[in-house]
Each structure stands twice: as C-alpha cells, then as structure tokens.
Chain A
Amino acid sequence: DAGVTQSPTHLIKTRGQQVTLRCSPKSGHDTVSWYQQALGQGPQFIFQYYEEEERQRGNFPDRFSGHQFPNYSSELNVNALLLGDSALYLCASNRGGSVNEQFFGPGTRLTVL
C-alpha cells in the first residue's frame, strides 16, 4: 500500500518563474492538504482540497493556487516565485469526514535563486 507520494523531490527555480508540485494521496484517502515548511519552522498550512474544491486556505497570497483531480491527486502551483518561497513543501492526505490523522509525503524541496 503506497503512502503519500510527491514529485519532484528537489527543484531549483529563479525569481519570477512558476512552479508546479504534484502529490498522490495514500490509497483510500480523498482529502489533500498542502503545507510549507521553511527552514527551522513548523509546517504552515497553505490550503486543503476535498471533492475537487478548495475547502480551507491559510494565510498565503493568490500566487499560491492548487487543483485536485478526480483521482484525488493534487497539484500546487506557485507563480512569480520569490526568494522567500524557498522551503520544503509537504503534501498530506486523509479520509474526509473523519478525524483521522493526516499522512504526510516526503516533501518537495524548492530552492528559489
């Protein structure tokens, strides 16, 4: 049973570029959340998708957008990259409608130069 998978593992971009990160949830999970973890910090919630809709959003600008597909996988898009967007981006999944814990993927390390 595969857990949460994310791609790519690492990514290097320059300021102003756009990036797309991908996530496949754990089998049986239908809810995907994205978090940003800056160096030395705890993960910060970006947004959550359920039934292909954004259900909750954290305090992140509109440059951060996402999508959920019918197979429950998800993408995180960041436009007009800033140096401060450099971080580990974590995807988490859980089964909606329950209080189950979120399972996290290994993350994508984004470096903006």
Chain B
Amino acid sequence: AQSVAQPEDQVNVAEGNPLTVKCTYSVSGNPYLFWYVQYPNRGLQFLLKYITGDNLVKGSYGFEAEFNKSQTSFHLKKPSALVSDSALYFCAVRDRLGRGSTLGRLYFGRGTQLTVWP
C-alpha cells in the first residue's frame, strides 16, 4: 500500500536561512508526489508536484523539491526562509490504481509544522 512519512513534526529555522522539510514514501511502481501547505483554518494549497523527468522540481513561492528514487525521498526545500512561510506542510503520494487508472487518491503524511523566526 502507498504511504508517506514525514519524520519531523516540527521544523524551526531563522529567517533568511535555508529550510528543508523531509518526506519519504512507499509506493508500488513510479510515484506521483506532491507538496501542499496549510495555513490556520484554511484548506490545502498546492506547492509543487513530481510526475516524471527532472529530479529537481520548482514550485510556488520559491519552494523546490528533490526527488530521490534510491532513497525514496521527496524533500521540500527553500534557499532563504521567510516568516510568512510559517505553516503546516503536507507531503502526499498519489495512487495510480483504482477503477479509473488516472483517478488517483492522495495519501498524506501527518504534516510538518514549519516555524520561521524573525
């Protein structure tokens, strides 16, 4: 079965420093991977996705993620953190299976709370 692990419940960084939010996955076959961000009392906002191709994926708000097949990881990164990046981040993997092969469900990790200190 597909699953995602986010090993850190919290990540704290100083503004201006680089940040990394970790994610590892377990899937059958090639994965579709996603990162979402959630602000308090809000829904999830899409940041970026990996489908195929270049292992370094660039997304919204200066975020990027590196797909590493050998380590089954998809870590989210940003070169210089902002206080406004403070939020809850979710990694997700998409299921390719089901009666409609492209109608996949998302499996989410537990989330990582990112706090950026001024």
Contacts and interface: CB of A to CB of B under 8 A. Distances in A.
Nearest to A50: B103
A47 B80 CA distance: 38
A43 B106 contact: yes
B76 to A, nearest CB: 15
Interface in B13-65: 32, 34, 36, 41-46, 49, 51
Given A4-B43, A101-B49, A96 B100 contact: yes
A46 B77 CA distance: 30
Contacts of A90: 43-44
Contacts of B32: 99
A42 B103 contact: no
Given A90-B44, A101-B46, A104-B36, A42 B99 contact: no
Contact of B103 (A96, A101, A105, A107): A96
Given A42-B111, A55-B98, A101-B34, A48 B105 contact: yes
A93 to B, nearest CB: 11
B78 interface: no
Interface string A93-113: 000111101111111010000
B5 to A, nearest CB: 11
Contacts of B75: none
Nearest to A109: B41
Nearest to A31: B103
Interface in B61-93: 90, 92
Interface in B95-118: 95, 98-100, 102-111
A71 interface: no
Nearest to B99: A55
B100 A42 contact: no
Given A90-B43, A104-B36, A104-B45, A45 B106 contact: yes
29 contacts: A35-B106, A41-B110, A42-B90, A42-B92, A42-B108, A42-B109, A43-B106, A44-B108, A45-B106, A48-B98, A48-B103, A50-B103, A55-B99, A55-B100, A56-B95, A56-B99, A92-B106, A96-B100, A97-B100, A97-B102, A99-B94, A101-B46, A102-B46, A102-B106, A103-B46, A104-B43, A104-B45, A106-B42, A107-B42
